[in-house]
Amino acid sequence: MQLSVVTLFPEMFAALTDWGISGRAVKRELITLDFFNPREFATDKQRTVDDKPFGGGPGMLMKSGPLIAAINQAKKSHGTEGEEVKVAYLSPQGTPLDHAAVVNLAKRERFILVCGRYQGIDARVIEQEIDEEWSIGNFVLSGGELAAMSLIDAMIRLQPGALGHEDSAKEDSFGNGLLHWPEYTRPQDFENNRVPDVLLSGDHEAIKDWRKKQSLISTLKKRPDLISWERLSEEERTILKEFTDESRC
């Protein structure tokens, strides 16, 4: 995947490029990350990238000129004369991101992300250059960089070869629409709290059944909105009904 990021603070992305799974993926060129700073495209002496909004009000807006110039340069870097490269704006007004959306985005060969700052960006940039808007939640950040990093990290995890085990991403929370089951590591007994015996049994079928049950229960307890009773199998409905009945006792 070739990914370009339009941002006033490219140095923030060192958290992705220099560390952990994402850093290894970048070094192995499983994903290419390029950055385009609108300030470099400002034409005045002060390299101004923001101004007061018309009509008054608090905050500043990113100006159209430098931002669009940076986006156009990002497009040129993809060398896609006959092909369209999608430009996405990270915004609390965007479509909420979920696992299914990230899976689809991670399949793209090229992608441009635009990070706003201050009060946001001039609406004409959105009208002229933005193909889609994405949100990581119903809250406001100081800029789009952290939202972009969250999306990029999630997409990197889905790139073939990015994780140590090819099934790791499939077993993550939301991989099958449910939350992940509880996990344990050494010691077996910690402050009189013991690891469930089934995980020590060596019985792989029993462990598989336990994990499935705990995944269902965790989802019901923590994120009941994710449970689609119509899509559950008869076995899964029985598991949740038994848990619900036990909880009432």
pLDDT tens-digit series, residues 18-75: 999 999 999 999 999 999 999 999 999 999 999 999 999 889 999 999 999 999 999 9
pLDDT digits (tens, 9 = 90+) for 108-121: 999 999 999 999 99
Domains and CATH numbers, the chain: 2-157 (3.40.1280.10), 173-248 (1.10.1270.20)
What average pLDDT does this structure show over 165-170?
64
Its pTM stands at 0.90
pLDDT digits (tens, 9 = 90+) for 174-191: 778 899 999 999 999 999
What average pLDDT does this structure show over 10-14?
98
Higher-pLDDT residue of 5 and 229 is 5
Please state, in angstroms and rounded to a whole number, the distance separating the CA atoms of residues 86 and 5: 12
What average pLDDT does this structure show over 182-206?
96
Please state, in angstroms and rounded to a whole number, the distance separating the CA atoms of residues 112 and 116: 13
Report how far apart, in Å, the C-alpha atoms of 157 and of each of 5, 20, 45, 225 are. Answer: 18, 11, 42, 25
Q: Read off the pLDDT band of 167 (50, 70, 90).
A: low
Average pLDDT along the chain:
93
pLDDT digits (tens, 9 = 90+) for 89-148: 999 999 999 999 999 999 999 999 999 999 999 999 999 999 999 999 999 999 999 999
From the CA atom positions of the chain, what is the Rg in Å?
A: 23
Query: In sequence order, what are the residues at sequence separation of 6 or more whose Cβ sits closer than 8 angstroms to the Cβ of residue 70?
Result: 6, 36, 37, 38, 40, 41
What average pLDDT does this structure show over 186-205?
97
| pLDDT value at residue 79 | 86
How many residues are present in the chain? 249
Please state, in angstroms and rounded to a whole number, the distance separating the CA atoms of residues 113 and 109: 13
Question: Above 60 in pLDDT, residue 82?
Answer: no
Please state, in angstroms and rounded to a whole number, the distance separating the CA atoms of residues 158 and 247: 37
Residue 249 near residue 201 (C-beta atoms within 8 A)? no
Higher-pLDDT residue of 58 and 11 is 11
